Structure 1
């Protein structure tokens, strides 16, 4: 019964169970990472020869094919893929075949990587919300809002790198911010590992890795951490860096070379190069409003709960939680500015502002501060915002979560028409609705429903989510007050680390 009273346990089960419901078709971005995972496990090589028809998001070097992505996600995914392959007897991925929209290993690999790390991010946010003064139910609201009421929901069910990156950055910050919990040397080491590994998954979050390093430096200068922590953080950060350099040598013959320099697709060659690996240009101010609001790529449209981040930063500043306030705000700003500087700022076929996804957990931290400082009305408004975001995300998840960038209003022009039974647009590449557990377990009954009623296949998921959330709200309780270095009261983690 002890675990049933912990909100973070409920958050993990509800989120992972919700992600397990969906099996989305591949896109190029996912396939590029998955093919590297399959090649490593099936054949023990980083070469993608024979798998190059699966994606146009690929690199070609000296006549051989490689993933154009950094290897961080693909390496993480080797473990769940190897486990699924061994446990379920899955065959190796076929070579020299036309692109596959679905392959059984995709489901298990994605769930064991993107799904797992998304659920763990929800757990971390639930714990941090409690540290900031939220009770069990408000902490539950924070974790579930992140995982079900923002586009994190969509990317938890796809093999993009965003969700693994978000977890690595958030976990690194949590280890630094909560260092008073004990074993400070080990925590600083793993904080460095996670901060650097995030950039091995997605190079564009390198500025956030640096922010975390400067945060630790600030703690040391303020005499809240011992100077030794910097060395331990640096040693940890060196390991993923060496891993990336070693992969680059193995694939491209030089530690400073990478797949971004050798795109096989002309459209990507025009953006990325050896001189500008990320393809960044000057800030495009005209994209600020579309990235913040509106049905195209608006942050607050697709994740309305994040509106509470704005007063939350004020709350953190008033409480002098400067570390939490500055790191969360600086992280959100850095990721936002990188998105503004990227020519393909729309994120291509996506749900919402895809390239902003790694900032979501850091924006949820001030949301937790708002809930901790507010009263009952604040909580109910947050519940309303979360419900709005949750319904919107379910609508997008239901149709496969991939809407192309040339659609001006994805919700009105594509999502709602598909749910209502309208004819499929000529460019649509998969079924009307995403593959899911109900459709796979009861295909005959589902086929008997008129098209406009086939959305009912998602009703069991919604019912299960509602029942689980009600159960969590009823069974969770405020834990007993702890004393000493593990005291979870706001600000208690800012003391000098304990040896």
Structure 2
């Protein structure tokens, strides 16, 4: 377990370096967390000024998001509040860009979920035949060389939902790893909770349910295993339905059907709460390539995924290959069917982020089958992606959707100390543990020198990764489990 634990530790420490400002999307989730812990309510009336990403029902305000992320972040926020003596979040005032609780709630939810998801990927990579260092490469590339790096440091639901769904897949891939009843119940819980975090994860939850049925049909687990899966899924489902009844009066109603802001209500309505339309195939190319929202531009290592899925099928890993492929396809189809396909202010194709860990399963197939050459190619692609995502992380990770080339028009000018765009809000760079920890030194840096604050991060990452790889190089390769 050294490789999964080492990867998770490196990633969590990396995510802790950043403190991004809050936006409407993240505030909608964080406000529910603060309302529960500070006020003992699920109503956001006292926080109305904090976000326009909000639902209104009978004159009361609620988050328009699924409640899963907010409920999960209750734990890290409550712990941080008690341990650090944080005051209650201010109510009634104007929107805030930074609040200490945001940092801890985000790190303890999105950050921790991403680190755990990467550890699960390391385990899956080992199962399909990757040597320890190759498996670690898969986890590190996911966490540091794809847009997952950015969303691990913001309170969006993508990373928590992805981690739940990927962990469910890992349990179903090897149901005998735990006692079948416990493993199947945990898989069901995680599959369902992923949809409680993000409703768009529903198709993946359904795929995982079908995989559970297939495991029973193939006699990998007894029939009672399917009952355990269903029992596990019943908990999050009942929680979501109960929440919907309390807020909307119906177990199947959702916040997107009650938007209080007109620009969102024009996309989501009571008749079409998800806002989906027919697929716009003209969006396929810009979602796959290009500096605007291209998946392969922002995560070049994912170009290897199709080859890896074929390799997994050839090696007999049919269930793992098909489910990870179909999970990726389902997320992509939802994105091309959504009018706001750009994801708003974001790094790369935000709405495709939930497919990234499943595509990394395909990349693991390449590394396992291709030996050292494949590992070298994967490493080079990871370095390219990691450097690019760090540039976006440094300036806050959210770039407006009306900028055609975010890297050249905004990110590089900010890093080089050029004049700030007239519409830019806040500082040139995001807040970091360096800018917050040694403000005197940082304050003396000129615009063209502020990038120096990221050198400790990169140096620490490099040292930790090299140390981990050195230790793993002395360990024997795992035996693939088919």
TM-score (norm 2): 0.98
* 1:331 alignment partner in structure 2: 327
* 2:22 alignment partner in structure 1: 26
What is the rounded CA distance, in whole Å, between the counterparts of 1:480 and 1:310 in structure 2? 28
* 1:249 alignment partner in structure 2: 245
What is the rounded CA distance, in whole Å, between the counterparts of 2:273 and 2:196 in structure 1? 13
Deviation at 1:230, TM superposition (A): 1.5
| Cα distance change of structure 1 residues 478 and 139 upon mapping to structure 2, 3 Å threshold | farther
Matched residue SS, 2:120: helix
Asked whether the 8 Å contact 1:57–1:263 carries over to 2, the reply is yes
* 1:320 alignment partner in structure 2: 316
Q: 1:405 aligns with which of 401, 405, 416?
A: 401
| Cα distance change of structure 1 residues 478 and 251 upon mapping to structure 2, 3 Å threshold | farther
Are 1:39 and 2:35 an aligned pair?
yes
What is the rounded CA distance, in whole Å, between the counterparts of 2:429 and 2:191 in structure 1? 37
Are 1:395 and 2:398 an aligned pair?
no
* 2:109 alignment partner in structure 1: 113
Q: Which runs of 5+ in 1 are unaligned?
A: 482-487, 493-499
* 2:420 alignment partner in structure 1: 424
Deviation at 1:222, TM superposition (A): 2.3
Asked whether the 8 Å contact 2:49–2:93 carries over to 1, the reply is yes
What is the rounded CA distance, in whole Å, between the counterparts of 1:337 and 1:448 in structure 2? 49
Moved over 4 A (4+): 477-481
Q: 2:57 aligns with which of 55, 61, 80?
A: 61
Cα deviation, 1:424-482, whole Å, max 9, x if unaligned, reads: 1122112100000000111111121221111111000000000001111111246568x
Q: 1:273 aligns with which of 269, 275, 285?
A: 269
Q: 1:469 aligns with which of 457, 465, 469?
A: 465
* 1:209 alignment partner in structure 2: 205
Deviation at 1:489, TM superposition (A): 2.9
Per mean C-alpha deviation after superposition, the further-off stretch among 187-196 and 222-231 is 222-231
* 1:130 alignment partner in structure 2: 126
Matched residue SS, 2:273: coil
What is the rounded CA distance, in whole Å, between the counterparts of 1:346 and 1:140 in structure 2? 31
Q: 1:150 aligns with which of 146, 149, 154?
A: 146
Are 1:167 and 2:157 an aligned pair?
no
Q: 1:365 aligns with which of 361, 366, 380?
A: 361
Count of residue pairs brought into register by the alignment: 482
Are 1:489 and 2:467 an aligned pair?
no
Cα deviation, 1:144-193, whole Å, max 9, x if unaligned, reads: 00000000000000000000000000000011101121301111111111
Asked whether the 8 Å contact 2:175–2:220 carries over to 1, the reply is no
What is the rounded CA distance, in whole Å, between the counterparts of 1:323 and 1:210 in structure 2? 14
Give the root-mean-square deviation of aligned CA atoms.
1.2
Q: Which runs of 5+ in 2 are unaligned?
A: none
What is the rounded CA distance, in whole Å, between the counterparts of 1:480 and 1:141 in structure 2? 16
Are 1:234 and 2:234 an aligned pair?
no
What is the rounded CA distance, in whole Å, between the counterparts of 1:219 and 1:82 in structure 2? 39
Deviation at 1:225, TM superposition (A): 2.5
Cα deviation, 1:299-342, whole Å, max 9, x if unaligned, reads: 11000111111110110111121001100100000000001101
* 1:90 alignment partner in structure 2: 86
Cα deviation, 1:205-254, whole Å, max 9, x if unaligned, reads: 10110001111112222222222221111111111111011111122222
Deviation at 1:290, TM superposition (A): 0.5
Deviation at 1:391, TM superposition (A): 0.2
* 1:378 alignment partner in structure 2: 374
Asked whether the 8 Å contact 1:312–1:370 carries over to 2, the reply is yes
Cα deviation, 1:374-405, whole Å, max 9, x if unaligned, reads: 13222111111000000001000000001010
What is the rounded CA distance, in whole Å, between the counterparts of 1:249 and 1:205 in structure 2? 21
Matched residue SS, 1:294: coil
What is the rounded CA distance, in whole Å, between the counterparts of 1:90 and 1:430 in structure 2? 24
What is the rounded CA distance, in whole Å, between the counterparts of 1:79 and 1:389 in structure 2? 32
Asked whether the 8 Å contact 1:135–1:478 carries over to 2, the reply is no
Per mean C-alpha deviation after superposition, the further-off stretch among 251-260 and 187-196 is 251-260
Asked whether the 8 Å contact 1:49–1:65 carries over to 2, the reply is yes
What is the rounded CA distance, in whole Å, between the counterparts of 1:73 and 1:340 in structure 2? 24
